[in-house]
């Protein structure tokens, strides 16, 4: 499931929970009962959880580091909407990625989001 689909589902759930919570609030104020009070508490808690999920899966305040560290390497910070083809020859220095999106091998491809088209690599190794 893509990040976009998760966000749409969380937003839909939050909206639905808010609507049902509004109706339940009306019922609680019209004729208070323990059952309706518990239902309202659960709805508010679930709605809060949906909002937390929605915000936690959102864009971070700091953009990730994007590094293409070898010959022919391609690093894409977001989603790749078209075909991606990487070709590299020789030997590239391998680095240990700290965080972010790193393509560290010869002719390697790193995509930080969704790859919505074909990704091809061809690394002719030096001999």
Q: What are the tens digits of pLDDT across the range 7-33?
A: 888 888 888 999 999 999 999 999 999
Give the CB-side neighbour count of residue 59, counting CA atoms within 13 A: 6
What residue ranges in the chain does DSSP mark as E strands? Answer: 66-68, 74-76, 84-89, 101-103, 109-111, 119-124
Q: What is the pLDDT of residue 40?
A: 92
Q: What are the tens digits of pLDDT across the range 59-70?
A: 555 666 777 777
d(CA 62, CA 53): 18
> In degrees rounded to 5, what are phi and psi of residue 67?
-135, 125
Model pTM above 0.75: no
Q: What are the tens digits of pLDDT across the range 39-62?
A: 999 999 998 888 888 777 555 556
Hey, where are the domains in the chain? Answer: 3-56, 66-124
């Amino acid at each position: 499931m893509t990040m976009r689909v998760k966000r749409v589902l969380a937003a839909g759930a939050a909206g639905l929970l808010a609507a049902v919570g509004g109706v339940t609030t009306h019922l609680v104020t019209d004729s208070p009962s323990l059952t309706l009070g518990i239902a309202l508490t659960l709805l508010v808690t679930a709605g809060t959880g949906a909002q937390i999920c929605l915000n936690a899966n959102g864009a971070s305040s700091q953009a990730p580091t994007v590094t293409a560290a070898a010959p022919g390497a391609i690093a894409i910070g977001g989603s790749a909407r078209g075909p991606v083809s990487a070709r590299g020859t020789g030997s590239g220095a391998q680095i240990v990625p700290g965080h972010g999106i790193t393509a560290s091998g010869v002719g390697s491809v790193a995509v930080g989001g969704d790859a919505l088209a074909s990704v091809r690599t061809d690394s002719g190794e030096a001999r």
